[in-house]
Structure 1
Amino acid sequence: MVRACGLGLLLALLLPMVGTSMPGTVVRINKAALSYVSAIGKAPLQRALQVTLPYFLDRSGEMLQTTRIQILNVHVPRLHLKFVADFGVRLLAAANFNFKVFRAPDPLELMLPVVLLADARVAQGPIQTPVISISACYSLFGNASVPDGGNSTSPALLVLLQKHIKAVLSNKLCLSVSNLVQGLNVHLGTLIGLNPVGPESQMRYSMVNVPTVTNDYISLDINAVLFLLGKPIVLPVDATAFVLPRHVGTKGTMATVGLSQDLFDSALLLLQKAGALNLDITGQLNSDDNLLNTSALGRLIPEVARQFPKPMPVVLKVRLGATPIATLHTNNATLQLQPFIEVLAVASNSAFQSLFSLDVVVNLSLQLSVSKVRLQGTTSVLGDVQITVASSNVGTIDMDQVHALMGTVFEKPLIDHLNALLGMGIALPSVVNLHYASPKVFVYEGYAVVSSGLLYQR
């Protein structure tokens, strides 16, 4: 993994998360993120600036001497980052370099203050990943001093040493920052990797345009493509451009991530096409509280009792032919499922016999959350489950009597199955080692917003 300076860490946090048009996410990295990045970026920047110096040619004596100079350490007491509108990010770092000059007979230690200025432009790469480049970099040097206050060093030698160090560092420091950023581009390339949704389905993100930069935030666009068995999932109608309003989520948060209706529709369509929402519900025949048997049905449907004088297991085959519908209103997210249920009984020859089938409409409350980099959901039933008879091989069915039984044996397994799927979640745009910290999810009309801090872990 490439070591990252403060600027590199900022851009690693910025670029994985984005806004898009089909289906879309809009992510803004706000000013609050800069203080965090400045704090965690000092140590990596110090390591990156600890470069190797060539030997110093000492002409101060009667003979020409070569003297080794080593950077003992670099301390960065100040690292400041800010957004520059229509450009990118500007870095200002104050660093103190401590050197050891291996000069006979007594080594010499020097301290040299340096101010480093760098401007980084963020662009879209040829493979639709973020690409960072240093467009300008300057090193401003102060005056070298002897930390121990010794007076044995001649002023003329000190001037020559300082001139030599400045000449070397003026190129090396900016080259180190540039190399660091170039290496970071490889790290940012992990944005386009496939993220699993299910056993046979994945998501892939890619940038769709250049970032929007203001003095207050950077906003990037990413397109989310979902795949089933290697084939992209396409919404049946053209998705519309998603525009995230300015003041949403939590004020002063590091990251504001807008998730459009299209993203929810696309993810649900993927789950439906993959058959992940289908399930078979069975019961234990010998269990005292098992209602999935022909005896329980026979008490409500006489024809079932006639055809099955002995208790036999019953299976509910739940299939979702229609795509689930997510609806996002302010402070309220709901999910509607329209499963088709075929009720089967095991005959004496172990073959399945269809008893009847049902059309069902289930309205669910949807709660959203984020864990690390995954958007997750949990559901609970809203109101009554609507059940109507689609077909019957056991004569007339009184749904007033059957409704309570079917709701009892159907609702909990369905909710458990659905919550297990939604609990696995789908990956939000990210690069490796990046997590969302203390995220909160807000629901608005037609979209959801994640307000979150950012946590970069090696």
Structure 2
Amino acid sequence: MTRENGLGLLLVLLLPVVGASRPGTVVRLNKEVLSYAAEAGKAPLQRALQVTVPNFLDRSGEALQPTRIQILNVHLPHLHLKLIAGFGIRLSAAANFTLKIFHVPEPLHLMLPMELLVDAPVDQCSIGTPVVSISDCFSFFDEAIVLDDRNRAAPALLVPLQKHIQAVLQSKLCLRVSNVVQSLNVHLGTLIGLSRVGPESQVRYSMINAPTITRDYISLDVNAILFLLGRPIMLPEVNTSFVLPHHVGTRGAMVTVGLSQDLFDSALLLLQKAGVLNMDITGQLKSDDNILNTSVLGQLIPEVARQFPEPMALVLKVRLGAMPTVTLHTNNATLQLQPFVEVLAPASNSAFQSLFSLNVVVNLSLQLFVSGVRLRGTTSVLGNVQITMASSNVGFIDMEKVQILMDTVFERPLLDHLNALLGLGIALPHVVNLHYISPEIFVYEGYVVVSSALLYQR
């Protein structure tokens, strides 16, 4: 970004940068963000207003005398942002221009007060990103103040000099603001970039309609599409869309992000199709705390002891055929996995033979958190792992005894594997350099809310 993107800083923080229809996400940037945006944007906007003023031609003498003018400083003692319902943003600012007039015999220092008023509608562009434009821009000037009492210019010089400076600033300032907005729109285009989910998967966000703007917030719907090997992950079509209720999350938060059930279903479907939820749990004979071997299993199943008189390491091949399901109830998020587990032992030909297989149901508590711009999760097992026999090549099996073994050798590797995946997280929709700060997570019936402050860092 260029250094003139000061207004961009203001407007990025005011624009909703996330949302969706199916999978559904709705983002509300609340009016509480305006004070932060105004304070953070003062310095960049001051730089944007520091324009070049051409020489003034002094006609008071017998010959035209060109006088050089330099803006030394632009100070914004006041900057205010306001949401205009059904429209966008109104920016009002008070600016003081400190100027040096290279007048003969001594330079002259002036301060020129000005008020700036900018109306910026917020809409949707054709590529699916927010777009900001300038509908009105006005600058109003007070009389110039001579800062050096020892060098007072004659009114005959001061009046035309001020008119010259005002005319130049009025012609340039709004154009400079318009240029900043155009560079901002390029920055907002990063909303539609692909964000990595896994080694072969990404998520892409884009707007599906124009933002809803009230006096209290800007709300935006964005379509979230997850890709695996370049192909989109699609949920079945439905006729309903996600609507975020009012007054959810933390009161006074800068941003309120609502994430519907659909977003979680899409993410889990992607993980299943990618195969990353599958895993192999391998026993180690020389490990004191790993009991996944034929010697221990043979104590529970006589046929295993007969076939394997010498201890051999076992392998649990865990495969997810059914799609994982997440359930969202008020203050409670749960995840259910239904893996098919095959217990394998080494065969004489260096291959593996199947001893038996199990249908497993695992219920997990799901805790969500946001780090940077990524929604991440961690899980813990709820109750006992439920197992039923699918097939056996070693005769009768006492399922109560196998249950104890599964609780010992299956739960911890499964949790470690699953939490490593969920810890990577999925990027929430965002533009470059915008982060969620001190977020809070709320679980409601059928959706999750993230309430957060925002931080813009270059």
**Fold shared by both chains (TM-score > 0.5):** yes
Residue 24 of structure 1 deviates from its aligned partner by: 1.1
| Residue range with higher mean Cα deviation, 260-269 or 277-286 | 277-286
- 1:58-103 deviations in Å (ceiling 9; x for gaps): 1011211111111001000111001000000000010000011112
Residue 237 of structure 1 deviates from its aligned partner by: 4.5
- 1:17-46 deviations in Å (ceiling 9; x for gaps): 233211111000111100100110000000
Does the alignment pair 1:122 with 2:87? no
Q: What residue is the counterpart of 1:418 in the other structure?
A: 418
Residue 8 of structure 1 deviates from its aligned partner by: 2.5
For 1:117 and 1:6, the matched residues in 2 are separated by: 16
Does the alignment pair 1:400 with 2:413? no
Q: What residue is the counterpart of 2:49 in the other structure?
A: 49
What amino acid is aligned across from residue 33 of structure 1 in structure 2? V
The within-5 A match list for 1:107-256 is: 107-150=107-150, 152-238=152-238, 240-256=240-256
The within-5 A match list for 1:334-373 is: 334-373=334-373
- 1:228-286 deviations in Å (ceiling 9; x for gaps): 00000011353730000110000001000000100000000000000011111012112
For 2:277 and 2:305, the matched residues in 1 are separated by: 31
Does the alignment pair 1:310 with 2:310? yes
Task: List alignment gaps of at least 5 residues for structure 2.
Answer: none
Q: What residue is the counterpart of 2:279 in the other structure?
A: 279
Residue 16 of structure 1 deviates from its aligned partner by: 5.2
For 1:367 and 1:239, the matched residues in 2 are separated by: 30
For 2:228 and 2:5, the matched residues in 1 are separated by: 39
Aligned length: 458
Q: What residue is the counterpart of 1:97 in the other structure?
A: 97
- 1:153-189 deviations in Å (ceiling 9; x for gaps): 1011110110000101012111111100000111111
Residue 104 of structure 1 deviates from its aligned partner by: 1.7
Residue 319 of structure 1 deviates from its aligned partner by: 0.7
TM-score (norm 2): 0.98
Question: Is this contact kept in 2: 1:343–1:357, CA < 8 A?
Answer: yes
For 2:4 and 2:121, the matched residues in 1 are separated by: 16
Q: What's the Cα RMSD here?
A: 1.1
Q: What residue is the counterpart of 2:389 in the other structure?
A: 389
- 1:108-162 deviations in Å (ceiling 9; x for gaps): 1110001000000111111111111001000010110111223531011110110
What amino acid is aligned across from residue 256 of structure 1 in structure 2? T
Question: Is this contact kept in 1: 2:4–2:47, CA < 8 A?
Answer: no
What amino acid is aligned across from residue 24 of structure 2 in structure 1? G
What amino acid is aligned across from residue 320 of structure 2 in structure 1? L
What amino acid is aligned across from residue 223 of structure 1 in structure 2? N
What amino acid is aligned across from residue 408 of structure 1 in structure 2? T
Question: Is this contact kept in 2: 1:317–1:343, CA < 8 A?
Answer: yes
SS in 1 for 2:362: strand
What amino acid is aligned across from residue 110 of structure 1 in structure 2? L
Question: Is this contact kept in 1: 2:59–2:65, CA < 8 A?
Answer: yes
Question: Is this contact kept in 2: 1:16–1:188, CA < 8 A?
Answer: no
Does the alignment pair 1:72 with 2:72? yes
For 1:258 and 1:2, the matched residues in 2 are separated by: 32
For 2:215 and 2:248, the matched residues in 1 are separated by: 18
Q: Cα–Cα, structure 1 residues 131 and 454, in superposed 2: closer, same or farther, change >3 Å?
A: same
Q: Cα–Cα, structure 1 residues 457 and 351, in superposed 2: closer, same or farther, change >3 Å?
A: same
For 1:290 and 1:430, the matched residues in 2 are separated by: 44
Question: Is this contact kept in 1: 2:20–2:208, CA < 8 A?
Answer: yes
What amino acid is aligned across from residue 373 of structure 1 in structure 2? V
Q: What residue is the counterpart of 1:28 in the other structure?
A: 28
Task: List alignment gaps of at least 5 residues for structure 1.
Answer: none
Question: Is this contact kept in 2: 1:9–1:37, CA < 8 A?
Answer: yes
- 1:370-399 deviations in Å (ceiling 9; x for gaps): 001000000000011100110111111110
Q: Cα–Cα, structure 1 residues 274 and 81, in superposed 2: closer, same or farther, change >3 Å?
A: same
Question: Is this contact kept in 2: 1:5–1:42, CA < 8 A?
Answer: no
What amino acid is aligned across from residue 430 of structure 2 in structure 1? S
Q: What residue is the counterpart of 2:262 in the other structure?
A: 262
For 1:6 and 1:246, the matched residues in 2 are separated by: 32
SS in 2 for 1:20: strand
TM-score (norm 1): 0.98
Question: Is this contact kept in 2: 1:257–1:450, CA < 8 A?
Answer: yes
Question: Is this contact kept in 2: 1:23–1:239, CA < 8 A?
Answer: no
